[in-house]
Structure formats: structure tokens, C-alpha cells
A and B are shown apart, each in its own frame.
Chain A
Amino acid sequence: EPEVTQTPSHQVTQMGQEVILRCVPISNHLYFYWYRQILGQKVEFLVSFYNNEISEKSEIFDDQFSVERPDGSNFTLKIRSTKLEDSAMYFCASRVQEGGNQPQHFGDGTRLSIL
């Protein structure tokens, strides 16, 4: 069964550094998402991406964050000048087509630890 893959599985970074989290969505999917989950809290939406542009973003997704799909397969989340509070699990998800009844499929996440 096709799956969403994410790398790295764990990233440890000094505060103030930039990190890039990578995702390879399922190949025929058209809608891409990033979510994060701070330890002990619920999963929160960050951004959605369709047709090579951001379609929606949350209040969390400020100028510190950016996404791109540079080569038609990888979907990346960049966090500039990381803060301690950016420590969380980051999940990438993808969905095949428009329609609220299509579920999103999640990658196994990147654990980001900011020191």
C-alpha cells in the first residue's frame, strides 16, 4: 500500500538554526498538508498546499515557516530561526482529490527537538 514518507525521523537543532523537514506524499495525491503535535497536546493544522501554492495557513504558520514542492515529489517545510517552542512532532499528510469525504493519509512524522 502506498504511503507518505518523512525524513528525518528525528532532528535535533540548536535554537536559532534553520531546519528543513522533508516529505514524499503518495504519488497520485494532489493536496498536501503539514500538521504539528506538541507533546501531550492535540494535532494542529499548519498549512495546506495545492497546485504549487499555499491554499490555507493557520495562525501558527507565520513568517518563520515556509513550504515548497521543488521537484514534483518532495514537499518540504522550512522553519527559520527555530525557537524552543517549535519542539514538536511534525506530520505531513496528503489527500487524493477535492471533497471532504476523502481522508488524509499521514506520514510517520519528524520529531523536532530544539535545544
Chain B
Amino acid sequence: RKEVEQDPGPFNVPEGATVAFNCTYSNSASQSFFWYRQDCRKEPKLLMSVYSSGNEDGRFTAQLNRASQYISLLIRDSKLSDSATYLCVVPFSGGYNKLIFGAGTRLAVHP
């Protein structure tokens, strides 16, 4: 299994749609997780941290299933500005917590 694996997409959805992205990770010792957003040729920007079973921030909900080593990101009421690549990121447990990135899921929201 890859260290961090994501749906490659692209997901093409209309404005207002609900869309969900999946991510699986291989290191069962990982304790915390992040979703970052990356616009084309820009830096990754932190979207959400996921520590326990999940958390919600406005239109965004992240869920964590440790038994299945699975993380999801749900976006409700999609906006045009949500169009980006969503990166599932897992800190490497131990050491100095280098980040292990998934390849990203591309989202395109259209009018």
C-alpha cells in the first residue's frame, strides 16, 4: 500500500453540489492528519487539521476512521472558488514529523 493514497479525480461538479474525497494511509501509528489545498502552481495551504474522529469547519467536514486507516473530506454547497487540488497529508510519526503528501484530488466547480 502507498504511504498516502487519494482518489486522483478530477471531480467536475456544479456549484452547490456536495463532493467527498477519500484518502487512505499505510502507517497505523499516525496520530494526526491534515487536508491542504493547492491552487495551480501555488503553495499548499492548510485547510483542516484532523485529530480525533473528525471535525467540521463551515462547509468542510473531515472524518477519520483509524481502524480502516481512512480519512475523508466533505465539501458542501460547492463554490467556484473551491476549485483546486486537495492534498491529504500525513505527518511521519517519529522523528521531526516530515509531511507525507498524497498525489492530490483535483476539484473543478463549474457554474
Contact = CB atoms under 8 A, between A and B. Distances in A.
Interface of A: 31, 33, 35, 41-45, 48, 50, 55-56, 58, 89, 91, 93, 95, 98-109, 111
A108 B98 contact: no
Interface of B: 30-32, 34, 41-46, 49, 51, 87, 91, 93, 95-104
B31 A104 contact: no
Output the residue of A33, A43, A104, A111 with the most chain B CB within 10 A: A43
B55 to A, nearest CB: 12
A55 B95 contact: yes
Contacts of A104: 99
B44 A106 contact: yes
A31 B99 CA distance: 12
A105 B103 contact: no
A43 B44 contact: yes
Given A55-B96, A100-B32, A103-B34, A44 B46 contact: no
A102 B46 CA distance: 11
A101 B100 contact: no
A95 B97 contact: yes
Nearest to A95: B97
